[in-house]
Chains A and B, each alone.
Chain A
Amino acid sequence: MESPLLHLALVGTPNSGKTSLFNALTGSRQKVANYPGVTVERKEGAFVTPQGRQVSLVDLPGTYSLRGRSPDEEITRDFVLGRATGEVLPDLVLCVADSTNLRLTIRLLLELKSTGRPLALVLNMFDIAKRRGVTVDVAGLSQALGVPVVTSIAVRKGGTDDLLRLTDQLAAGADAAGGERANTWRPLTVPELRATQREADRIINATVSLPERPDTWTARIDSIALHPVGGLFILLAILFIMFQGVFAWAQPLMQLLSAAFDALGQLVHDQLPEGLLQSFLQNGVISGVGSVIVFLPQIIIIFLFILLLEDFGYMARAAFLMDRIMGGAGLHGRAFIPLLSSFACAIPGIMATRVIDNRRDRLTTILIAPLMTCSARIPVYTLIISAFIPPTKVLGLINLQGLVMFGLYAAGIVSALLVSFLVKFFLMRDYQPAPFMLELPDYKMPRLRSIAIGVYTRAKMFLQRAGTTIFAMMVLIWFLASFPQPPAGATEPAINYSLAAMIGQALAPLLSPVGFNWQIAVALVPGMAAREVAVAALGTVYAIEGGKEAAEQIGQVLADKWSLATALALLAWYIFAPQCASTLAVIRRETGSWRWMAVTFFYMFALAYAAAFATYHVAVAMGAG
């Protein structure tokens, strides 16, 4: 029997464990996209109930109420009310609560009831609540609220069985969810809001018994992690470990990947006759795409750190610690999380600025997010650092290469703070700081499965990009670097006769004051598609110029062909490097204007040029030319 697809939606306050429940139910069967017209992330997954019913589940953005004071919260409201464009009204709304902390969710649930949608309450993290001595009269709570209530432990196998069973019951037509009623929702006034909170507290008092002792672990960790001075040191230490990790731990895996691609290229080289096809596959496809995929371990490590800290509950603490410090530079404490995400990639970072509800705070954060060192810069940094900076130990224990890497990250952060300060000072003088109000959730053991799914989704996105955009760019670069072919009897390397050389030489006068040769100029052009492509492009350019050995030893080739001053200037350029077409596209979409996109491009280009110029000339003056 073919039953219709059942549409479910997850609603809950931030930190209710909504996402880990979503991951537990749908596993890796997830689709991440955007809602039409806005850039709020739309997460949809699928699962099958024990009775074989197909279910589509949407994870709605976290919210405390249906008032909709940010684009995210508006989506949640519109979705539940059936006003969202192109969306199906959900058959059942699952309101997810952190069982240790029911007050705010019960209030939200009372508000949700007025929408008339069939509704159920999911008491998530029920195991943690039990361990803390919280007891819930589930039947009584269900009766008092007038909706079905189930408990769940998203992180344990079988922890969602009750929820699945309930879904089947409701789908079978049981009217347990109170059925569908008319929508009588309207924004609550302050007295109504207060009254619903009172009502929620009354219900909780009648059905839930809370232990007298709060979570002692959270209190103990916070007494160190939120210490005004000690807390900042811990934050700094975490960031430092993160960057050392990205640089040092990923190395063995990266060498393995790189060796595998070299072997593959060699295999193609041996199997195919000398000629264009051989060159295309080996130099264009394998060495080009390979040089980007090599960075997968680093991207996995940085996302692992970010997701672990988020899941542990530390991210909100970091925002707390940084609020006034960032406030000095005109930034909101909430900007910390988007900016930290920007270390992975500016695109999710810029999209994460949606949590900042003040438009000006949001705009400033968007403008500086691309200055955070995104993972796409890592390939460039890694290549140049390993070619030019010796791996000596400083003070006997710190790796100099890691230190330079840290310095580059620090330079990005400092310049971001400076830019933000200048924006606030010159463009927004009448600025009134927006409030900082944030729940600090209890610490929780990170849920490894949930994190694994998160890392997997991101790695997949990266590989898809490597397989599409980057692949296409590599083919284009190979073509530019290979045609026209050198005339018969040519003495110079083939690439010197190509289109790439012509483009590079045309740009060279513009870039020679900052110490860049035409090969770098060629590499910067496709770097517009994605920053890391520049590395692959350098690989392709030098591979075609110097043959197979050069492709395998790209770092060695650069060390031979570039001066230290040029290498340092390129590093300085890349701190600002405005060329990332997708970031610019996201800025346009998020700000809704070409103007801010253009502002971002030109200010970053100017900074990149100035920084590279200064670095090059200082380095030359110090004898590194």
Chain B
Amino acid sequence: MSEICDTRPPLPLGLARRGYTGTIQHLAAGGTTSSLPDVELESRLIELGFVEGARVEILHEGIVGRDPIAVRVDNITVAVRRREAMAVIVA
């Protein structure tokens, strides 16, 4: 995990493309344009398994604006919009 961090700068999951794989570094709900309050967004992401250290992979993208995305989070698949995925910082 650490060698990936060394070679790639952290990036919000909301900007990653299909096929991207990485590890969650931290959650940053403050910087998104989501309509949810920060605490609520962060809680929901955690409840769906987006916690530090989880492996993520973008499996699919929607047809309009490559949105929403289907993300493999460890061993489950979750659909989120890119707007909310901006809160998940991966590397």
Known contacts A103-B74, A438-B79, A439-B78; decide if A324 and B49 are in contact (CB<8 Å).
no
A228 at the interface (CB under 8 A from B): yes
Question: Counting CB contacts under 8 A, is A165 at the interface?
Answer: no
- Other-chain contact of A222, B47, B62, B70 (Cβ < 8 Å): B70
Known contacts being A103-B75, A435-B84, is A440 close to B68, with CB within 8 Å?
A: no
A321 an interface residue at 8 Å Cβ cutoff? yes
B30 nearest CB across to chain A (Å)? 12
Question: Scoring A residues 429 to 448 as 1 if CB is less than 8 Å from chain B, else 0, what string do you get?
Answer: 00011111111111000000
**In chain B between 54 and 85, which residues have their CB closer than 8 angstroms to a CB of chain A?**
59-65, 67-68, 70, 72, 74-81, 83-84
Instruction: Please give, as numbers and ranges, the residues of chain B lying within 8 Å of A442 by CB-CB distance.
Output: 77
Q: In angstroms, how far is the closest chain B Cβ from the Cβ of A316? A: 7
CB contact under 8 A between A437 and B44, given known A103-B49, A432-B35: yes
Using A190-B43, A433-B35 as known contacts, say yes or no to A440 and B70 having CB atoms under 8 A apart: yes
**Per-position binary interface string of chain A over residues 310-323, scored 1 when its CB falls under 8 Å from any chain B CB and 0 otherwise:** 00000010011101
Instruction: Establish whether residues A69 and B40, one from each chain, have CB atoms under 8 Å apart when the complex forms.
Output: yes
Asked if A321 and B62 make an inter-chain contact with CB atoms under 8 angstroms apart, the answer reads yes
Q: Is the CB of A437 within 8 A of B62?
A: no
Whether B41 sits at the interface, judged by CB under 8 Å, is: yes
Q: Please pick, from A67, A232, A320, A358, the residue contacting B68 in the complex, using a CB distance under 8 A.
A: A320
A197 within 8 A of B: yes
- A232: chain B residues within 8 A (beta carbon): 63
Cβ-based interface call for A494 (8 A): no
Whether the Cβ atoms of A324 and B47 lie closer than 8 Å is no
User: What is the interface residue range for chain B against chain A?
Assistant: 35 or more
Closest-CB distance, A321 to chain B (whole angstroms): 7
- One of A101, A198, A226, A324 near B70 (C-beta < 8 A): A226
- Cβ contact within 8 Å between B62 and A228: yes
Which listed residue, A67, A219, A437, touches B84 by the CB 8 Å rule? Answer: A437
Most buried by B among A198, A214, A358, A435: A435
* A90-112 near B? 1/0 per residue, CB < 8 Å: 00000000001101100100000
Q: Interface centre among B46, B78, B80, by most A CB within 10 Å?
A: B46
Complex CA distance for A325 and B44, rounded to whole angstroms: 24
User: Hey, which chain A residues are within 8 Å of B47, CB to CB?
Assistant: 64-65, 104, 107, 193
A103 and B48 CA atoms in complex are apart in Å by: 9
Chain B residues whose CB sits within 8 angstroms of the CB of A440 once the complex forms: 70, 77-79
Asked whether B11 is an interface residue with its Cβ less than 8 Å from the other chain, the reply is no
A511 on interface, CB distance cutoff 8 Å:
no
Q: Which A residue sits closest to B76, measured CB to CB?
A: A101
State which size class the interface on A falls in. 35 or more
Known interface pairs A101-B76, A222-B60, A435-B36; A323-B68 also in contact (CB < 8 Å): yes
Contact of A104 among B34, B40, B76 (CB under 8 A): B76
- Contact between B81 and A435, CB atoms less than 8 A apart: yes
Residues of B within 8 A of A547 (CB): none
B35 and A325 contacting across the interface, CB-CB below 8 Å: no
**B1 lies within 8 A of chain A by Cβ:** no
Q: Is the CB of B51 within 8 A of A194?
A: yes
Contacts of A323 in B (CB 8 A): 62, 67-68, 79, 81
Contact of A325 among B34, B51, B63 (CB under 8 A): B63
Tell yes or no: A210 within 8 A of B by CB: yes
A219 to B57 Cα, complex, angstroms: 12
CA–CA, A39 and B65, complex, Å = 36
Contacts of B61 in A (CB 8 A): 228
Residue of B nearest to A101 (CB): B76
Is A539 an interface residue when CB atoms closer than 8 A count as contact?
Answer: no
Q: Say whether A140 faces chain B, with CB atoms less than 8 Å apart.
A: no
CB distance from A387 to the nearest CB of B (A): 40
By the criterion CB–CB under 8 Å, are A439 and B76 in contact?
yes
Measured between beta carbons, the chain A residues less than 8 angstroms from B74 are: 103
Which residues of A are found within 8 Å of B70, using beta-carbon distances? 222, 226, 320, 440
| A333 CA / B79 CA spacing, docked (Å) | 10
- When the two chains form their complex, are residues B64 and A324 in contact, meaning their CB atoms are under 8 A apart? yes
Q: Does A328 contact B (CB under 8 A)?
A: yes
A226 touches B60 (CB 8 A): yes
Within 8 A of A (CB), among B22-55: 34-36, 39-49, 51-52
Cβ of A229 < 8 Å from any Cβ of B?
A: yes
A100, A193, A316, A441, most chain B CB atoms within 10 A: A193
Q: Which residues of B contact A (CB under 8 A)?
A: 34-36, 39-49, 51-52, 59-65, 67-68, 70, 72, 74-81, 83-84
Sorted nearest first, the 4 A-B pairs with minimum C-beta distance are A324-B64, A432-B35, A228-B63, A64-B47
15 more contacts with CB within 8 A, not counting A319-B79, A328-B64, are: A65-B47, A188-B43, A214-B72, A222-B70, A226-B70, A228-B60, A232-B63, A324-B67, A325-B64, A432-B35, A433-B83, A436-B79, A439-B48, A440-B78, A441-B77
Q: List 22 A-B contacts (CB under 8 A).
A: A64-B48, A103-B76, A104-B48, A107-B47, A197-B46, A197-B51, A222-B70, A228-B60, A228-B62, A228-B63, A323-B67, A323-B68, A328-B64, A432-B35, A434-B35, A435-B35, A435-B83, A435-B84, A436-B68, A438-B80, A439-B77, A439-B78
